[in-house]
Structures are given as C-alpha cells and as structure tokens.
Structure 1
Amino acid sequence: MQPDLELVHIRKGESFAAWMHGYPFRTVRWHYHPEYEIHLIAATSGKFYIGDFIGDFEPGQLIMTGPNLPQNWISDVQSDEIVPARSLVIQFAENFIEDACATMPEMDVIRPLLDRSHRGLLFDDGTSAAVRPLMEQLIEARGLKRLSLFWQVLDTLAQAPEPEVLASLSYELDLSDIDASGVNRAIAYLREHLTEPVGEGELADIVGQSASAFSRAFKRHTGTTLVRYKNQLRIDLACQLLLDSEEIKVAEICYEVGFSNLSNFNRHFLKLKGMSPSQFRTTFAANGALAMAD
C-alpha cells in the first residue's frame, strides 16, 4: 500500500514546526513527508510502523525519522475514546538543517544522527526523559528561546547512547511511483498552496487528467471531495495555530489559513470540530494541560 503525503505546515517567520496532537488525528495513517521528524509518545500504547519495521509502543517512546520514511502510530483505544495529547512532534525541512550545517561548523556533530535517521531511530528511556521537557517547552516557546531549545533537543539526541535502527538496510521508498500518482501530486501542490484558492480544474491540469477523472480519483484516494478535504486541512491548520499561542486572534487565524470571511470559517470549524474556535482553544488547552500533567 502506497503511503499518503502529509502536509507539514511551517509557519512564516519560523524555521521548523513544533506541536502537539491528540488521538484520533488526521496524521494517523500510513504516510510520509519530506521533513525530518522527532516524535515522542505522551500517552497511549499500540502498534507502530516505520518503513518495513513493525513494533509496539507505549508512553515515552521517542523516535526520529528522516525525509520520506513512511510511518504510522495506531493507539489501542476504544472506538469512541478521544485522547487530547498523545504525541509531541518536531518537524524540520532538509534544506533548513543542511544550510545550518553548512554555515555552522559546530553542527558537524549531528551529521551522523541525520544520516542514520533515514532508517528511523528509537531512543532509550533516559534520552526520552531528557528530551520530553525540552519538547514541551519548545511547543510554547517563541523567538531565540525556541531556537535554543531546538538545538538542545538535537544535541541530546546526538549524544544519546546508540539508538536502535528500525527500517532494514534494503528498505527504500519508491518515490517514482508515488510522484506518478495524480492524487499525491495534487496533494503535494496543495501543500505549497493550501491558503490559496486552488480549484479542481487547476489540479486536474497539473496532473494531466480531465476534471471528472481527477474528481473521481481524488475521492477514491481521500474518501471525500476536494473542497471538503481542503477545508479539513485548513481547519486542522487553524487548530494548530489556535494552540500555538493565545495571542493570535481568531480573525487573524481565519485569514491566515485561507478562509475569505470569518463567518464561513466559524461555520466550517463548528461543523468539523463541534465547537467554536474560541471554545476549542479553551477546552483543548485545558484538557491538554491536564493530560501533560498526568
């Protein structure tokens, strides 16, 4: 089964993404992305998949993956159970870290870490315990403090006892087949233009299909229409921004994620999340703080 491309949003004015998500969540599927990822399980147990590796996870598991390495974590919970804070995540682009390595000689110490992460790295409990408070602070931090914590996380991982390498030496994702998939090419384009008014006809032209053929293929692949899929992605992005900072006004987030008016944004948010954006911010933040304390 070919993995889906995940859209990783790195906000303007920031070098990397750092966030927390619950369960269920849109990224809980067999997926890949071009960014490096540091993933720490805060709650639940279950089964995880990294490349051709399959294993069991529990709270405290810390894994780093390199670009385009397929992955998934499936929690063993009741079908109607909602976990407010399951995973702490840091994601950063390859060009960002390569540019840093090229300009700062001190960065050479993390080069082996970056190289080995292409097969997925599982760290020991001691490293996880050291990294978790740094990631928790990082999610809330701003400015230079944010950068300082990011480098501390990488330095801790680079100095950790030998991590377990997960995917086999022979495993390699065949991106040629994925890139040839019309829907994944369309999703890749959406990745770069999520907040712009991209229509079905434009995407159909990009992948060389008729509008009707693309529409059918897109619905088979995603289980929904392009309009609903795009609105879902934008609302998911809005949720991330709502939790990033209480200082960002709801109206600012509305326009930043691509909605043209506040009433339309509020209507879609209520439909998809069952509450208003302000209620989501208050409720989820309270639940998340409680879960983190547990």
Structure 2
Amino acid sequence: MKLIRKNTDRFENERLNITMKDIPCLDSSWHYHPQFELLYISQSTGIRFVGDSVSQFSPGDLVLVGPNLPHLWRNDPSYYKEGDESRVKTIVIKFSKDFIGKGTFDNAEFYSIGHMLEESKFGISFGRTISRKFHNDLMEIIDLSPAGQSIMLLNILLQLSLAEEKTVLSSTDMRQYTTDNSQRIDDILKYISDNYSTYISLNDVAEIACMTTNSFCRFFKRMTNKSYTQFLNEVRIRNAARLLVQNEELSVSEIADMVGYTSITNFNRQFKQILNNTPRDFRQLHGSGTLVY
C-alpha cells in the first residue's frame, strides 16, 4: 500500500459523485485526488488523518478535504474483527469546483463558498451543531436526481461557508502532486493506527518502512510534518480522549494502559500538552455522553 493519487475515469467524467459507505476503513491507503471531498460520519468511530492533523472521529464528524490533500479515515481495530457486527455508515461527496457551472464560485455573490473551498486545502472540520443540522439532508442526498443533488450540495456549501463553528485541520499545506518516494507511508500509518496500544519502538516502524532509523525519521517528518514520537502520542491521546468519555467506569490509569502508556505521569503530561486539559478535567468537561473528536 502507498500514498496514491486517485482519479478514476468515472470521477473525470462526472462533476459530482455521491456514495454511502457501510464497510470499515473507507480507503485502504493514505491517498489524495483532484476532487473536493465532503465526508460525513453517521455511524462508526476511529482515527482520521488529514494533512498533518490526527484526530479521533465519531458519529457526527463532518469534514471538507480540498484537492490533492492526503487523507485517511481508519476505523477502530474492533471493526476489522471477524464476526464483528459494528456498523459503519458514511456519506462521501466528491465534487469538482465547477459542479454547478464553470467559474460559478469566482462570482462575488458566491464569495463565501469560494473562500471556504480555498481554505479546504488544509482540511476543515465542522462542529456537531452544524453536522446535526445537515444530518437529514446528507442522508437523503444520495437518493435525489442529479439536478437535485447539485442544488442541495450548493445549499449545504453555502451554509457551511457561513458557519462559525469550524476548525482548520492541517497546520501546513501538504497538497501532493506526485507519488515519488511515498510508497511506505501508508503501511506506517496503518501499522501505527492498528498497534498504538502496544509498545512500538522506532526500530519497529523503521523496519516496516525498510529504512534505517535516521532515514525513517527524516522521511516521516517530511511526509507528515511531525516527528514519529509526536505523531504516535497524538494517535494515543486522541483515542484516550474517546475512551475517557465513552467508558466512564474505567479509571484514568486503566485508559492510559489501554492506549499504550506504562507511565501515568507521562500519559498525563502528553494529554495536557495535546488537549490542554488533564484527563480528569477533560472527562468532567466532556462527560455524560458528549461525543469528542
């Protein structure tokens, strides 16, 4: 598996393509494509990678990914177990900038949409209040006529562009235009997302990449804009945040162990550094069923 550029004939010939996914791991590879992608998670949980951003996703997650920005949504390991009945339901809307007409978003009356589409080169996450507002529309858009889909998507984009509850994801422009020297990154991301709860040494991931540790560190930093240790800590802490909220019967130390920390002191330090709260304060703030991403 590798970082790949996805651009099938179907997408080249269609300005708008909408699908519903009901299987784990929406794509097997960290990938990019020339279309915009609006992705809505109705069911399932896991980790998403958008540029150099690493975040936990859960039902209600709504993200806009710009053209050529590497991304991957990967479900929690339990979704891949044989016989597991966990359900996945995701709406994926891929569209070109001219899906409603060439030059439309260059016009002054569509400035807010055009600005949002430009900003999506970093990836944009919309808050739960916004995603709840569009839940029904996003679940029904797949059954509309092509004209109906275009009209509804235009309305959704307009309202999203005016929303205040949104977060830019990637801290840098990581858009890709070639696949040179990037074959290893997908295996690395998959290995980390599947094994973060166990001890993973630098040597372990360097062997997965078939590189020396020094070469691996330079390669990983270039591909993700983060060090390997920083990236691994983010994956672990984002999963810990979900567990703290969804499993209030578990202690903080139990959760620290579940996500791969043998030292509670180190866990607390990394948690506060990444999420600006102690684990206990985070649980009190986001408990009682609140979904965290």
Q: Is the 8 A contact 2:61 2:125 kept in 1?
A: yes
Q: Is the 8 A contact 2:5 2:32 kept in 1?
A: yes
Q: Is the 8 A contact 1:113 1:158 kept in 2?
A: yes
Across the aligned residues of Structure 1 and Structure 2, the Cα RMSD in angstroms comes to 2.8
Which residue of structure 1 lines up, in the alignment, with residue 6 of structure 2? 6
Deviation per residue, 1:229-264 (Å, 9 max, x gap)? xxxxxxxxxxxxxxxxxxxxxxxxxxxxxxxxxxxx
Matching residue's letter, 2:20:
M
Which residue of structure 2 lines up, in the alignment, with residue 138 of structure 1? 141
Return the TM-score normalized by structure 2: 0.54
Which residue of structure 2 lines up, in the alignment, with residue 120 of structure 1? 123
Q: Quick one: structure 1 residues 142 and 56, their matched pair in 2 at CA, closer, same or farther if it must change by over 3 Å? A: same
Q: Quick one: structure 1 residues 83 and 18, their matched pair in 2 at CA, closer, same or farther if it must change by over 3 Å? A: farther
Which residue of structure 2 lines up, in the alignment, with residue 173 of structure 1? 175
Mean CA deviation greater in 94-103 or 124-133? 94-103
Return the TM-score normalized by structure 1: 0.54
Give, in whole Å, the separation in 1 of the partners of 2:53 and 2:44. Answer: 20
Which residue of structure 2 lines up, in the alignment, with residue 279 of structure 1? none
Mean CA deviation greater in 37-46 or 72-81? 72-81
- Structure 1 residue 144 displacement after superposition: 2.8
Q: How does 1:1-294 map to 2 (within 5 A)?
A: 3-7=3-7, 9-10=10-11, 15-24=15-24, 27-76=27-76, 77-78=78-79, 79-80=81-82, 81=84, 85-96=88-99, 99-101=102-104, 105-169=108-172, 171-176=173-178, 178=179
Q: Is the 8 A contact 1:36 1:66 kept in 2?
A: yes
- Structure 1 residue 173 displacement after superposition: 3.5
Gapped regions of structure 1 (runs ≥ 5) = 183-294
- Structure 1 residue 153 displacement after superposition: 1.2
Q: Is the 8 A contact 1:69 1:173 kept in 2?
A: yes
Q: Is the 8 A contact 1:39 1:62 kept in 2?
A: yes
Q: Quick one: structure 1 residues 83 and 11, their matched pair in 2 at CA, closer, same or farther if it must change by over 3 Å? A: farther
Q: Quick one: structure 1 residues 121 and 100, their matched pair in 2 at CA, closer, same or farther if it must change by over 3 Å? A: same
Q: Quick one: structure 1 residues 129 and 173, their matched pair in 2 at CA, closer, same or farther if it must change by over 3 Å? A: same
Q: What SS does the aligned partner of 1:164 have? A: strand
Give, in whole Å, the separation in 1 of the partners of 2:26 and 2:48. Answer: 16
Gapped regions of structure 2 (runs ≥ 5) = 184-293
Q: Quick one: structure 1 residues 41 and 102, their matched pair in 2 at CA, closer, same or farther if it must change by over 3 Å? A: closer
Give, in whole Å, the separation in 2 of the partners of 1:117 and 1:41. Answer: 18
Give, in whole Å, the separation in 2 of the partners of 1:141 and 1:15. Answer: 15
Q: What SS does the aligned partner of 1:55 have? A: strand
Q: Quick one: structure 1 residues 179 and 141, their matched pair in 2 at CA, closer, same or farther if it must change by over 3 Å? A: farther
Q: What SS does the aligned partner of 1:99 have? A: coil
Give, in whole Å, the separation in 2 of the partners of 1:181 and 1:4. Answer: 8
Q: Is the 8 A contact 1:20 1:88 kept in 2?
A: yes
Q: Quick one: structure 1 residues 5 and 84, their matched pair in 2 at CA, closer, same or farther if it must change by over 3 Å? A: farther
Q: Is the 8 A contact 1:134 1:152 kept in 2?
A: no
Mean CA deviation greater in 154-163 or 76-85? 76-85
- Structure 1 residue 87 displacement after superposition: 1.1
Which residue of structure 2 lines up, in the alignment, with residue 264 of structure 1? none
Higher percent of residues as helix: 1
Length, aligned pairs only: 179
Matching residue's letter, 2:47:
K
Give, in whole Å, the separation in 2 of the partners of 1:181 and 1:57. Answer: 25
Which residue of structure 2 lines up, in the alignment, with residue 266 of structure 1? none
Q: Quick one: structure 1 residues 134 and 168, their matched pair in 2 at CA, closer, same or farther if it must change by over 3 Å? A: same
Q: Is the 8 A contact 2:25 2:75 kept in 1?
A: no
Give, in whole Å, the separation in 2 of the partners of 1:82 and 1:47. Answer: 19
- Structure 1 residue 151 displacement after superposition: 1.0
Q: Is the 8 A contact 1:47 1:73 kept in 2?
A: yes
Q: Is the 8 A contact 1:46 1:74 kept in 2?
A: yes
Give, in whole Å, the separation in 2 of the partners of 1:97 and 1:179. Answer: 34
Q: Identity of counterpart residues, as a percentage?
A: 26
Q: Quick one: structure 1 residues 28 and 62, their matched pair in 2 at CA, closer, same or farther if it must change by over 3 Å? A: farther
Between 1 and 2, higher relative CO (CA 8 Å, sep ≥ 6) is seen in: 2
Deviation per residue, 1:144-177 (Å, 9 max, x gap)? 32222111111121111141111113x423424x
